[in-house]
Chain A
Amino acid sequence: MSFLTLTDVSKSFGDLQAVAGINLSVEKGEFVSLLGPSGCGKTTTLQMIAGFVETTRGRITLDGRDITHMPPNKRGLGIVFQSYALFPHMSVEQNVSFGLEMRDIDKGERKARIRDALALVRLDAYAHRFPRELSGGQRQRVAIARAIVIAPPVLLLDEPMSNLDAKLREDMQFELRAIQRKIGTTTLMVTHDQSEALSISDRVVVMESGRITQVDTPYRAYERPENDFVSQFIGKANMLAGRIVAREGDTIRVDLGNDLAETGSMSQLPERGRAVGVGDAITLCIRPEKLKLCAQGSGRLPGRVTSRFFLGSQWLYRLDSRAGEILVCCQNEGKEPLAEGDQVGIDWHSDAIRFIQQEGARV
């Protein structure tokens, strides 16, 4: 039973259509991320749910109630703004207390709830500080405390990590997830950072140009991208263009040019894709960590290392091959890495391949 439902929600600003026909169901207690590049409409969608932007079309339902035209100060949602929007003239305690005061909660209960919220975000000792005396990470936690202390039906997070530096961002991601698990609030997060979305969401909603392209668990979105956009936005991918030359039942044979060919099964195509036939253009997609490097002469494709990057836990190699540039990621096993100029062989499991259909490609 969906807790928060968006039905055919759209938003146009004059001629510009920012959001076009969003349909989304979020279950109670779920952590869902709206993921996409800037301008994809994710923030606008969040603002429509919050009530700061009017929908042009469509309906938003919360726990059975239609809130599409409800003013923002009646919806009672918990929001963490990108800039945190802490009240600078109020202390941490007063900030967190504000939402409770608006609900006429009596003093005793207020104090107790504030204490619990601040303990949850580990800011108990900072209750009397002012925002300008806090670091970025601390301000973010105040913003979170302020949003959850009111026990909202839904928690909305607008790019909550974008103002934090890299290390802090990682730590906060885990902490945010832990908090959400603990209080069980339905949460919707907007982000452009795909690794963040993948690591802490129950489901990921990939958006592009105002539309939803794919809704899946992080694992499936990564392993079974529906199209070009998703496969390249989430993680890195090697994309090889090809054409279907034969089809027998469940098996297809794809010609990739340059004397390369692959055989795959229908299960490696997007689940919700169109029907395919012989002659269709199709793209082979394989993730860098699924490629193996072996000695020169073996493997399916010879290649030459053009540059290498050390990523701590992994080595990323760029290779030149007759199929173009190939990216390969190897675990750092403490062994001697390859050097630039080395000739190697690239190999992969047929199961590791995915096929992506071109948008609108029809013969």
Chain B
Amino acid sequence: MKKALFSALTLALLYGCASTPVEPEKPAPPSAAPEVQPPVSARPIQPAAPQGDALPDRSKRSVFYEYDKYDVKDEYRPLLQAQGKYLAENRGKKMLIQGNCDERGSREYNIALGQRRAEGVKRMLLLMGATGTQVESVSLGEEKPRCTEHNEACWSQNRRSDMLYGGEY
């Protein structure tokens, strides 16, 4: 019983922040830790890419979808163009596209739906210059929700494809 209570507390601590659907992303941006070493040195590590703006931080490398849909909306074209170009110019770079779904419906069907979402993103990247060996599309279905409440505000965040570069997953 005590154990269950403890787990419930751990759960609350872990997911407490995620359940306020405001800004769930918090990993890399250096602005979060002010008094540590100067963050300046983090910038120039970027590889030979001539266009500095080609690689937005990972929280901006997501495509969102309507319920039960997998088509990429026009608003994401500039993002995919930039990523495709970056991959074309950096053949050594690898990308994993993870497709996600909201919690509604069959878990296995959602694996297939998430796969189709990720595959759609992959196909567009290939059209824009990336190669098949650089990009792998996989599905997380409804298994790794970013937001865990049972409402549309949460669901809309979870219907998503994330484009992750090697080292980010």
Same complex origin of A and B: no
